[in-house]
Amino acid sequence: MSNSFSGGANPLISLTGVSKRFPNGTLALDNVSLEVPKGQLLSLIGLSGSGKSTLMRHLNGLHKPTSGSVKVLGTEVSSASNRELRAVRRNVGFVFQQFGLVGRATCLENVLSGALGRLGGPRYGVWSYPKQLRREAFDHLDRVGLAPQAYQRADTLSGGQMQRVAIARTIMQQPEILLADEPVASLDPESSAQVLELMLQVATEEKMTIIVTLHQVELAMGWAHRIVGLRDGRVVLDRDATGLSQADVMDVYRRVDRESELLAPTESFDAAKAADSVEA
């Protein structure tokens, strides 16, 4: 489909004709082309298995395409050397659904670990980090509202608090791009809204580009600049979030036969039922 979101001469992310077929025969991405300019907040939506997570993993080199080109920060990720990949990954932060924290470490130490790419060699404990970085990490915890919990074990926090620590750790990394794969899927609605609002604030202040996969359609529409919908590994929606209707978004969740591209004669699209499946 046509893409009205040109990244200009130098988009931070550029996918051209990307397809990914796994050894078991599954076609996870099917001729995906996408450009993402600096500072954009983009939400990927679609049913489970639509290719969202696979696409995200191509952006930091965890997957390589079967065909096509993936460029991130000017580097062809699919053919990058290990050294080039490390350079890309230092500038691409990742926020995970299950937080990715070290539970028995303090919040401060978890945030400090975001600076490891700037340091030589491993670090053991908070006091093995330079004083300047300890102060910086504490400031980031304060920024996400968790300064009082700096020396508290991460596994004693609520889910929403853990995700805020994960965001503080990512800010500590100083990335140009932030990827978040279902970052609020395990949170309650109130915490989900707070976490996305925090990510929006951080993106604005740090001039970061953010790509987030979300199942919650209303959150995606209210948060992102741009909505990209995937179905069966293909881009079926690519629109500015402003003025986008619920019907436009829910159409992404139609079940379509890959061969015919048509709904079966006996099947009709039920938006309410689709919404239920998305929220499940």
CATH number at residue 208: 3.40.50.300
5 lies in the same domain as 56: yes
End-to-end CA distance of the chain: 29
60 lies in the same domain as 10: yes
CB 106 within 8 A of CB 153: yes
The total number of structural domains that make up the chain: 2
* SS3 label, residue 1: coil
Amino acid residing at 83: R
Could you read off the pLDDT of 95-110 as tens digits, one per residue? 877 778 889 999 999 9
Does 159 reside within a domain? yes
What local confidence, expressed as pLDDT, does residue 256 receive? 53
Q: How far is CA 131 from the centre of its chain?
A: 31
Q: How many percent of the chain have pLDDT more than 90?
A: 47
Token couple for 43: 């939400």
48 lies in the same domain as 27: yes
Q: Hunting for tokens 């980031």 — which residue is that?
A: 140
Q: How confident is the model at residue 233 (pLDDT cuts 50, 70, 90)?
A: very high
CB 135 within 8 A of CB 111: no
What local confidence, expressed as pLDDT, does residue 232 receive? 94
Q: Is 222 left (phi over 0), alpha (psi -120 to 50) or beta?
A: alpha
Q: How confident is the model at residue 197 (pLDDT cuts 50, 70, 90)?
A: confident
Does 218 reside within a domain? yes
Range of the domain at 150: 94-174
Could you read off the pLDDT of 99-139 as tens digits, one per residue? 788 899 999 999 999 888 888 777 878 888 899 999 999 99
Longest distance between any two alpha carbons in the chain, whole Å: 67
Does 20 reside within a domain? yes
86 lies in the same domain as 17: yes
What local confidence, expressed as pLDDT, does residue 51 receive? 93
Q: What is the DSSP string of 228-253?
A: EEEETTEEEEEEESTT--HHHHHGGG
144 lies in the same domain as 211: no
Q: How confident is the model at residue 275 (pLDDT cuts 50, 70, 90)?
A: very low
Q: Is 116 left (phi over 0), alpha (psi -120 to 50) or beta?
A: alpha
157 lies in the same domain as 181: no
Q: How confident is the model at residue 157 (pLDDT cuts 50, 70, 90)?
A: very high
What local confidence, expressed as pLDDT, does residue 86 receive? 87
What local confidence, expressed as pLDDT, does residue 265 receive? 37
142 lies in the same domain as 29: no
Residue 3 confidence (pLDDT) above 50: no
Residue 6 confidence (pLDDT) above 60: no
Does 273 reside within a domain? no
What local confidence, expressed as pLDDT, does residue 199 receive? 83
